[in-house]
Amino acid sequence: MSADGCPFCRIAAGAEPASVVYEDDATLAFMDLRQPAGAVPGHLLVIPKAHTATLYDLEPEPAARVFQAVATVARAMRRALPEMEGLSVWQSNGAPWQEVFHLHVHLMPRRRGDGLFHVYQVPPAEAERAALDELAARVRAGLG
């Protein structure tokens, strides 16, 4: 998706409505249209204002700005939402996990028993150290 057709670019430009929580010259945080039933309300998104499709495309300086905004907004959520026991933060890349191809970080208020985000049906056994070392070596090689 080009920046021209990007809904988050339109929000950042003020061409589409959004319930803005935080804004600086590089980032914008606004309420997600989808607030899960039965969960603590307050699900929001933090985006870079400049169109960036995925985390893979994000340069170091904008990355720092986005995650500074994430931390700032998370602290505000903790102060403003006393029913929030914790917070899940996530960011997805690529189809089918990413619905809007403009990098966005989700901040989801949490409480015990909210039924959200079960990463494992059954927690897997711990991996052997040799397998972890081999995976670490592969990722290090990708640092190039």
Catalytic residues: 104
Spatial distance between the Cα atoms of 81 and 63, rounded to a whole number of angstroms: 26
Spatial distance between the Cα atoms of 41 and 34, rounded to a whole number of angstroms: 10
Residue among 76, 61, 54, 75 nearest 27 (CA):
61
Whether residue 39 contacts residue 108, with contact meaning beta carbons closer than 8 Å, is answered with yes
| H-helix or E-strand spanning residue 95 | none
Spatial distance between the Cα atoms of 5 and 9, rounded to a whole number of angstroms: 8
| H-helix or E-strand spanning residue 98 | none
